[in-house]
């Protein structure tokens, strides 16, 4: 017997159980990838998200052992309040026993109650268990991402020395300064034209307050946010962001890189990313690599990353389940405790 129970306030024991399941799940699917630390998982479960809230469930078998977990992120900002994002893990020892289906059914029902029309989730590797699970439950593949790794010691950062007349570089850690907050928000809106395939992703409207809120979310998790930007006459022409998760000792994560449309074609994306490589070497010498992901049709950013020395690492897919939008509509996935 499996019991699916919601989690309202995450206890230390529940966080530890969640971590155990996630690490076991990822070790089975991505054996060469570093798993999250207990601190990182606890921060993810307990820290408030940006313009979103989370619903959490544990799947427990008779005797109390946690064998599966699911988290549903419900976006709340205009432009994305139709959207929910699912994270679901089942311990490898209990897969193909209905645990994942029960968790999914519970999450889908909750998303319908919240009147979401689209449910997104990610699956790693072609032909893996995540791909098969999504296909069996009515998801459709909407985007393919290439994950790349950069060995910082071997990165080609020569572009950091390239002259860009009229432009200057600046950088900060954590929250942007007040004098740059509005310019940074305007630049972040350039991310709304990033390739999203057939995903019903919507759009995000960035303001100075929202960029400050994003930095606070990361700080509350204990993460380090590094930003380098290109400025011209008070306007932010482009920027790149790197996040080093709390407790991380080796790998940094690439967040946004964007160039404002009016400033494209001048090599600014390569410039700011090369400068970031040098900054990491100087300020965080223990960080050995950067992980990034790009949509396969984002040819420009893929070319920039290849120029720096990023190499192919793995591939993942984004899946979407379309939910009914009519009152009283019901998806094909119904919770077992209702069926």
Q: Would you call 253 exposed, middle or buried from its count of C-beta atoms within 10 A (0-12, 13-18, 19+)?
A: middle
Residue 173 has which token pair?
Answer: 């850690």
Residue 279, pLDDT score = 98
Residue with tokens 């005797």: 63
Residue 40, pLDDT score = 94
Residue 326, pLDDT score = 59
* Total length of the chain: 339
Residue 336, pLDDT score = 39
Q: How confident is the model over 173-208, as pLDDT tens digits?
A: 999 999 999 999 999 998 888 888 999 999 999 999
Q: How confident is the model over 251-294, as pLDDT tens digits?
A: 999 999 999 999 999 999 999 999 999 999 999 999 999 999 99
Cα–Cα distance between 253 and 272 in angstroms, integer? 15
Cα–Cα distance between 212 and 249 in angstroms, integer? 26
Mean residue pLDDT of the chain comes to 93
Share of the chain above pLDDT 70, in %: 96
pTM confidence score: 0.91
Q: How confident is the model over 105-137, as pLDDT tens digits?
A: 999 999 999 999 999 999 987 778 999 999 999
Residue 331, pLDDT score = 54
At the fourth CATH level, the homologous superfamily of domain 2-116 is Gcn5-related N-acetyltransferase (GNAT) (3.40.630.30)
Check for a shared fold between 2-116 and 148-315.
yes
> What's 285's DSSP letter?
T
CATH architecture type of domain 148-315: 3-Layer(aba) Sandwich (3.40)
Percent of the chain as helix, strand, coil, to the nearest 5: 35, 30, 35
Closest of 270, 248, 254, 274 to residue 155, by C-alpha: 274
Neighbours of 3 (CB within 10 A): 12
Residues 6 or more apart whose Cβ sits within 8 Å of residue 145: 293, 294, 295, 296, 315, 316, 317, 318
Whether residue 329 is predicted with pLDDT greater than 90 in this model: the reply is no
Domain residue limits, the chain: 2-116, 148-315
Residue 193, pLDDT score = 84
């Amino acid at each position: 017997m499996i019991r699916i129970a919601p989690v309202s306030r995450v206890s230390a024991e529940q966080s530890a159980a969640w971590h155990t399941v996630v690490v076991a799940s990822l070790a089975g699917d991505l054996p060469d990838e570093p798993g999250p630390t207990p601190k990182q998982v606890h921060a993810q479960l307990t820290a408030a998200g940006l313009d979103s809230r989370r619903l959490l469930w544990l799947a427990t078998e008779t005797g109390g052992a946690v064998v599966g977990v699911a988290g549903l992120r419900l976006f709340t900002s205009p432009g994305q309040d139709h959207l929910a994002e699912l994270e679901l893990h089942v311990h490898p020892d209990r897969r193909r026993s209905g645990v994942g289906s029960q968790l999914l059914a519970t999450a889908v029902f909750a998303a319908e109650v919240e009147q979401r029309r689209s449910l997104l989730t990610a699956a790693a590797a072609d032909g893996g268990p995540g791909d098969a699970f999504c296909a069996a439950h009515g998801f459709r593949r909407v985007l393919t991402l290439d994950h790349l790794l950069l060995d910082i010691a071997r990165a080609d950062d020569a572009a950091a020395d390239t002259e860009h007349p009229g432009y200057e570089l600046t950088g900060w850690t954590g929250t942007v300064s007040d004098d740059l907050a509005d310019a940074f928000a305007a630049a972040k809106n350039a991310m709304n034209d990033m390739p999203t395939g057939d995903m019903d992703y919507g759009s995000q409207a960035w303001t100075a307050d929202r960029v400050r809120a994003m930095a606070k979310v990361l700080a509350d998790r204990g993460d380090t946010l590094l930003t380098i930007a290109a400025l011209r006459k008070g306007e932010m022409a482009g920027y790149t962001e790197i996040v080093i998760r709390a407790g991380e000792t080796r790998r940094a994560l690439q967040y946004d890189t964007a160039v404002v449309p009016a400033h494209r074609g001048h090599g600014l994306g390569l410039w700011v990313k090369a400068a970031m490589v040098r900054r990491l070497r100087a300020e965080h010498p223990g960080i050995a690599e950067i992980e990034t992901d790009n949509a396969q049709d984002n040819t420009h950013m893929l070319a920039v990353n290849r120029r720096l020395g990023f190499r192919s690492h793995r591939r993942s897919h984004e899946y979407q389940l379309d939910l009914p939008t009519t009152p009283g509509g019901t998806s094909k996935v119904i919770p077992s405790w209702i069926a």
